């Protein structure tokens, strides 16, 4: 009998996929367009250089350099987590960011800095700096990851999918990425996939598999739109080819990609008061569907996912699904973990996976997405 397989993609998968994004680089005061692999968390603010960040996303640059220090080496998730925490604590009044916000507003008034969002936070000016920083962040995420192209070197998403669909009972993708490269690669193969929506029956594996293989996006997608035109507010799941460019006309009229930060808080899905919020509902549906899919998985293939220490929520869904499997008397999962080619923490990762899935879990490690597709480990797993 074929074993059920689920593939879990992290940012390392997009980085090694063969897709390229176009970003602006600065050299000797001149800016030029360059194609690079989609940056991962730790490389994000290395690729997005400080001078360009200051020029185009001043609020984000100001917060990052104020909080972490000039030219700091810090990852995207850490900056976004720090922003979330500090923005919330303006209300909680542990530190109000008043001096920094006043400085920022003064620079705008003197026209030394452009006000990219002139009608935002007009009624709550104390939130202007951190609010603009959040808007900058989403605009930057869109500008970095939405302008993609296939390099022609490899298409790891399509190639892995072809291997899976011809060899086993493949039941779904789970991805932590905002980008739409997976959908693009599968569409080129005329493959029928579907998104999980607010009306999906996430408790039923049969329902989740009806009409196409699900792509479960735990942090949302650049192709999903969060739209506010008060009193109306909604989430629209567009096709992957229509990515949502953020636009902030005022505090009552704006739209942006329906994504949540990959941070420790995830207040969008952890604040009880938001449970009727459309964004909360659509994201929670992804996490519910993931638990249902994972408890049916006999094999999980992780590609480029590192289980960041800050993401307790992600770790929890794997632990919950594994707990349900044990209670139902199912055998331990098999794990094929595809890590980066230069990853020297193989044993630490194995210990982490064992702590999540159990000491008796069989864990196979392969280095590099390109090697995964040709590996005897993958072939043996699919032939069992």
**Strand-strand pairing, 362-367 and 334-339:** parallel
**140: closest CA among 74, 240, 49?**
49
For the chain, give the mean pLDDT: 92
pLDDT at 263 over 90: no
CA–CA gap between residue 227 and residue 154 (Å, rounded): 36
Tokens (6 digits) for 128: 């202007």
The whole-number pLDDT of residue 343 equals 60
Give the model's confidence band at 310: pLDDT under 50 very low, under 70 low, under 90 confident, else very high.
low
pLDDT in tens, 268-294: 888 787 888 999 999 999 999 999 999
pTM: 0.94
DSSP strands (E only) in the chain: 4-9, 19-27, 30-36, 148-150, 169-175, 193-195, 213-217, 220-229, 232-237, 247-248, 253-259, 299-303, 334-339, 362-367
**160: closest CA among 290, 347, 334, 17?**
17
pLDDT in tens, 49-72: 898 999 999 999 999 999 999 878
More confident residue, 313 or 37: 37
Give the model's confidence band at 167: pLDDT under 50 very low, under 70 low, under 90 confident, else very high.
confident
Question: 178 and 219 in contact (C-beta within 8 Å)?
Answer: yes
The whole-number pLDDT of residue 111 equals 97
Give the model's confidence band at 150: pLDDT under 50 very low, under 70 low, under 90 confident, else very high.
confident
Q: What percent of the chain has pLDDT over 70?
A: 98
The structure tokens 């997009």 sit at 14
For 272, other C-beta atoms within 10 Å of its C-beta total 6
**168: closest CA among 9, 10, 321, 298?**
298
- Average pLDDT over every residue of 90-95: 95
pLDDT in tens, 94-115: 999 999 999 999 999 999 999 9
The whole-number pLDDT of residue 155 equals 87
Give the model's confidence band at 344: pLDDT under 50 very low, under 70 low, under 90 confident, else very high.
low
pLDDT at 248 over 70: yes
The structure tokens 């925490």 sit at 85
- Average pLDDT over every residue of 237-246: 96
More confident residue, 137 or 151: 137
CA–CA gap between residue 347 and residue 337 (Å, rounded): 12
DSSP per-residue string spanning 232-267:
EEEEEE--TTS----EESSSSEEEEEEE--SSS--H
DSSP letter assigned to residue 2: P
pLDDT at 265 over 90: no
Give the model's confidence band at 20: pLDDT under 50 very low, under 70 low, under 90 confident, else very high.
very high
Give the largest Cα separation in the chain, rounded: 71
Distance of CA 79 to the CA centre of its chain: 14
pLDDT at 384 over 80: no
pLDDT at 308 over 90: no
Give the model's confidence band at 2: pLDDT under 50 very low, under 70 low, under 90 confident, else very high.
confident
pLDDT in tens, 182-199: 999 998 777 889 999 999
């Amino acid at each position: 009998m074929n074993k059920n397989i689920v593939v879990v993609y992290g940012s390392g998968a997009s980085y090694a996929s063969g897709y390229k994004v176009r970003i602006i680089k600065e050299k000797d005061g001149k800016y030029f367009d360059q194609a690079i692999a989609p940056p991962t968390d730790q490389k994000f603010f290395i690729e997005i250089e400080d001078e360009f960040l200051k020029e185009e996303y001043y609020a984000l640059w100001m917060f990052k350099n104020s909080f972490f220090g000039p030219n700091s080496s810090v990852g995207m998730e850490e900056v976004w987590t720090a922003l979330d925490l500090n923005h919330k604590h303006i209300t909680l009044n542990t530190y109000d960011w008043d001096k920094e916000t006043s400085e920022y507003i003064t620079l705008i008034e003197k026209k030394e800095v452009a006000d990219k969002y002139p009608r935002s936070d007009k009624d709550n000016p104390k939130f202007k700096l951190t609010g603009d920083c959040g808007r900058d962040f989403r605009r930057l995420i869109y500008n970095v990851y939405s302008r993609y192209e296939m390099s022609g070197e490899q298409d790891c998403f399509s190639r892995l999918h072809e291997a899976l669909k011809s060899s086993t009972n493949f039941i779904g993708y789970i991805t932590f990425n905002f980008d739409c490269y997976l959908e693009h690669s599968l569409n080129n193969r005329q493959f029928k996939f579907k998104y999980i929506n607010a009306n999906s029956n996430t408790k039923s594996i049969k329902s989740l598999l009806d009409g196409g293989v699900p792509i479960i996006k735990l942090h949302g997608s650049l192709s999903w739109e969060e739209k506010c035109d008060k009193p109306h507010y909604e989430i629209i799941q567009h096709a992957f080819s229509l990515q949502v460019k953020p636009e902030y006309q005022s505090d009552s009229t704006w739209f942006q990609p329906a994504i949540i930060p990959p941070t420790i808080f995830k207040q969008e899905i952890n604040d009880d008061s938001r449970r009727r919020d459309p964004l909360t509902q659509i994201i929670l549906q992804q996490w519910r569907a993931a638990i249902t899919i994972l408890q049916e998985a006999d094999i999980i293939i992780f590609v480029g996912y590192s289980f960041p220490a800050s993401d307790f929520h992600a770790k929890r869904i794997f632990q919950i699904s594994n707990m349900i499997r044990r209670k139902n008397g199912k055998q331990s999962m098999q794990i094929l973990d595809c890590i980066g080619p230069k990853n020297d923490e193989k044993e630490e990762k194995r210990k982490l996976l064992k702590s999540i899935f159990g000491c008796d879990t069989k864990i196979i490690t392969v280095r590099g997405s390109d090697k995964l597709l040709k590996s005897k480990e993958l072939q043996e797993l699919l032939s069992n």
